[in-house]
Structures are given as C-alpha cells and as structure tokens.
Amino acid sequence: MLHRMKTEEQIRRQLEQIRGSLDERGRREWAASEAMALGYGGVALVHRATGLAPVTIGKGIRELKAREGQPEPEGPRRVRRPGGGRPRKADTDPTLVADLEQLVDPVTRGDPESPLRWTVKSLRRLSTELKAKGHDVSRSLVSRLLKFLGYSLQANRKTLEGANHPDRNTQFEHINARTERQLQAGNPAISVDTKKKELVGPFKNGGRELRPKGGPEKVRVHDFVDRELGKANPYGVYDIGANTGWVNVGITSDTAEFAVESIRRWWYSEGRHAYPQATELLITADCGGSNGYRTRLWKLELQGLADELGFLISVCHLPPGTSKWNKIEHRLFSFISMNWRGKPLISLDVIVKMIAATTTTEGLTVHCELDDNLYEKGRKVTDAEMATINLVPDNFHGEWNYTIRPRRSQCKPHSPDRLVS
C-alpha cells in the first residue's frame, strides 16, 4: 500500500517546509489532518515521521472533529492553556524527551482510544536510567515530562471486595491502636501471610528487564509443574517496627503448622535479638488461609509456640475481604515481586537468593531461608485438643482478636540451636 500513501520521509519533508509558519496548535492540527487522511495506522506513521507524541496527534484529531461544520471564531486564538507547555529542561537538553520515550515505550500500557497512557516503571527507576544516559534530571522533572507526554503512573486497582463488614473500619482502628501500644512497650508486632506459590523451573515470570537486544531469556511455553522441582511456597513475616522481612520458603503445602513454624524460625533468627525483653508478641494476619481465624490448627500450633517462648501471643485478624491492606503485602511482598520480575525462578536456591536480595531506599532488608520439612495437609484438630488451648478472646470481636497465654505446666523452651540451618 506504500504506493498509495505518503511515506515517513515525505511527511517529514513536508513538515520541514511549513514548520516556520505554524505555531504549536497549527503543527498539532496539521499532523492530525495528515493522520486522518492516511486512515488506519496514520497516527503511528505521523508520530514516527514528525516526532509528535500520539497523544498530541489524537488531541488534534478531536479538535478538528469538534470544529466540523462550525465557523472559525473571530479574534486571536489561544495556542495552549494557561500554565501548559513543554518543561524548560526539554528545550536545553534536546535528546531528553526522546530518550525518556525510548525507556518508557517497551512497557507502555493504555487504551488506544484514550489519550491516557501509563507506565509500569517508577519515577526513581526512570530518572536513574536517564542519568546513566548523561541527562541531569530529577524524579520531579521526569514526572512533569511524563505528564507532558500524556503518561500516568498507575496500577491495577482492586475495588471488588464483596460485602463490607459493618465493623470493618472499627477493626482497622483496633488493630492500629494495638500495634501502637505494642511498639511503645518495646514488644514485637508482625504482619504475616503466605505469598503466591511460584513454579520452580524455567517458566515465564511477569515483567521485563533490560537484556541485549534480540536476546530474551528462553523459558518453557507451557506452565506445567515440574514434578522434580515442584513449587515454592513463601511464607513471610514483616516486622512492622523494624521494617525488616523474614521469608520461609516451603516446598510442601501451606498449612497452619507451616505458618507457625515460619513465625518460630523468625523469632529465633531475628526476633529474640531485636526484642530481648519481649513479654508479648502481636500478630496481624488475614482472616482466611493457613492463618485464618477459623483454623483450629493455627490456634493449636500458636499455643505450642506460646508454651515454648513463655510469653503471650496476641492475634488480630483483618476483616473479611481486606487482605490487600495487610502491611506485609505492600511493604514486603510487592518489593519481592518487583525485584524478581522478568527473571525465571529456575531453582529454589535462586528464589531464596532473590528474596534475600530485596531492599528499598526506605531501609527494608529481607532474610530468607529454605524450609525442606514436609507438612501434613488436612490435619484435623479434635474438640479435646481445642479444649487445651488457653485462649482469651478480646471484648471487641473476640473471634478476630484474641490472646493465647502459655500453659505454665507445659512450658518447655527449646534450644534455638535446633533451628540454625
């Protein structure tokens, strides 16, 4: 079809001939007219030929369509809205905008019918990569340039939670108050949860990373479990006061026994050193799963841990349908996912090392270990065993908030050396 339409070179030469007589709005509307005349693919072709952003061409198309059949207004026309325009730095650094678009373009998302685009790269990462190319930029400047180019930094928004519990907000306030009192008393407060299970092997992992052009890392076409490598089951413990993470990577089922064992290992590895005078451990957890408030084995295993440590263990569960608000999700797990995005998790050793390598500029550090124990799935807890649990429910929603006291007659502290791998 090239013989029936203008080429990029022809459009580029045409713009050079008339550029001097066009203001900003004129260039926009001329480019929009050319794109409309070319039909399908016209916006992309004009963008490549002129360097004008697709969102700018799209704006020109909308302006032309809005004026169809309308008389031209009298008097001088406004070229741009008050306060609008290209940031000054882009004028003194002519390759800055082009380099920024080159960095953003491979990970650009957006509706082709909408002028809004967004990128999955952070402002910090973009500014760092631009500095590596020789540009003197800050995160705020990158933000202004992206806005100028029609970009917005966004993510999927979870809004469909189902029915809200009437005491949801009150429970959050209760958890926050308990956490503050716990930290002020010098006691540990942790957020716990199981991260999504991960296939071990050369499987595709979401996200993109810089690699030599034309040399993507090869992975399997189908995501079938490798029977020899299996799955990794990371259980995380986030220390709210210290901003540190501890992850226990299991190889079997996500059970309540595995969850409490992960907390036990965190205590002997990190907690007892950070809180030598602790008299109580506060755990915030989701309402369901291996650490759910209805899980009998969770409470029985916590009773064993309380007997072992010799002090109180209090638990506050998040209200139903609010697991995304668990602190461990956005203070630990999200950074782990960003750290290994685009990298196949080819072995358990690689998973452990990449989790342990996770850090943030706010000071987050993460310790990770492999747990090769086998945990029985579907283990039942009898009524007689439940009767032995020294559980004291809180006055407010005792099913969500409760304290497990050690049974003094059964306190048998174990040597921490047994947990050293």
380-397 tens-digit pLDDT: 999 999 999 999 999 999
In single-letter form, the type of residue at position 24 comes to E
**363-366 contacts at long range (C-beta below 8 A, 24 or more positions apart):** 363/243, 364/243, 364/244, 364/245, 364/331, 364/332, 364/335, 365/244, 365/245, 366/244, 366/245, 366/246, 366/247, 366/332, 366/336
DSSP letter string, 44-84: HHHHHHH---HHHHHHHHHHHHHHTTPPPPSSPPPSS-TT-
Average pLDDT value for the chain: 80
- pLDDT confidence bin for 110, thresholds 50/70/90: very low
If one counts every other C-beta atom within 10 angstroms of the C-beta of residue 286, the result is: 24
**Higher confidence at residue 3 or residue 211?**
211
Stretch 15-30: mean pLDDT: 83
Reply yes or no on whether the pLDDT at 43 is more than 90: no
pLDDT tens for each residue of 352-361:
998 999 988 8
Q: Which two tokens stand for residue 316?
A: 């506050």
Predicted local distance difference test score (pLDDT) of residue 224 = 57
Q: Is 155 helix (H, G, I), strand (E, B) or coil?
A: coil
235/161 Cα distance (integer angstroms): 23
pTM: 0.59
Question: At 60, is the pLDDT very low, low, confident or very high (cuts 50, 70, 90)?
Answer: confident
Highest mean pLDDT among 93-97, 151-155, 204-208: 93-97
Highest mean pLDDT among 55-59, 123-127, 393-397: 393-397
Q: Between the ranges 1-10, 139-148, 277-286, where is the mean pLDDT highest?
A: 277-286
What is the percent of the chain with per-residue pLDDT over 90, rounded to a whole number? 33
Please state, in angstroms and rounded to a whole number, the distance separating the CA atoms of residues 167 and 300. Answer: 27
- Give the bridge partners for 249, in sequence order: 234, 370
Average confidence (pLDDT) over 68-83: 61
DSSP letter for 359, please.
-
Q: What is the torsion angle, in degrees rounded to the nearest 10, for the CA atoms of residue 233, residue 264, residue 404 and residue 303?
A: 90
Give me the residues paired with residue 352 across strands.
Answer: none
